[in-house]
Amino acid sequence: MKAVEITEFGAPDVLKLAERPTPEPKAGEVLIKVGASGVNRPDVFQRKGSYAPPPGISDLPGLEVAGEIVGGTVDEKNNPFGLKIGDRVCALIAGGGYAEYAVAPLGQCLPVPKGLTDVEAASLPETFFTVWSNVFQRAYLGKGEGGENETLLVQGGSSGIGVTAIQIAHALGFRVFATAGSDDKCRACEALGADRAINYRTGDFVEVVKALTNDRGVDVILDMVAGGYVSRELSALATGGRIVLIATLGGSKAELNMGEILRRRLTVTGSTLRARSVEFKAQIAQELKTTVWPLIEEGRIKPVVFRVFPATQAAEAHALMESSEHIGKIVLDWSSAA
Vertex 276, ends 270 and 65: CA angle to 5°? Answer: 105
Smallest CA-to-CA distance from 258 within 236, 231, 240, 239 is with 231
pLDDT score recorded for residue 215: 96
Give the pLDDT of residue 146.
Answer: 81
Amino acid letter for position 173: G
Q: Output the pLDDT for position 134.
A: 98
Q: Strand 101-105 vs strand 237-245: parallel, antiparallel, or unpaired?
A: unpaired
| Confidence at residue 184, expressed as pLDDT on a 0 to 100 scale | 97
- List, in order of start, the domains of the chain with CATH numbers: 2-124+274-333 (3.90.180.10), 129-270 (3.90.180.10)
Helix, strand, or coil (residue 289): helix
pLDDT at 263: 96
State the DSSP string of 320-334: HHHHT--SSEEEEE-
- pLDDT attached to residue 129: 98
**55-68, pLDDT tens digit by residue?**
999 999 999 999 99
Q: Which residues of 34-46 are buried (b: 16+ CB within 10 A; e: fewer)?
A: bbbbbbbbbbbeb
Per-residue pLDDT of the chain (338 residues; tens, 9 = 90+): 999 999 999 999 999 999 999 999 999 999 999 999 999 999 999 999 999 999 999 999 999 999 999 999 898 777 999 999 999 999 999 999 999 999 999 999 999 999 999 999 999 999 999 999 999 999 999 998 888 899 999 999 999 999 999 999 999 999 999 999 999 999 999 999 999 999 999 999 999 999 999 999 999 999 999 888 999 999 999 999 999 999 988 888 988 999 999 999 999 999 999 989 999 999 999 999 999 999 999 999 999 999 999 999 999 999 999 999 999 999 999 997 75
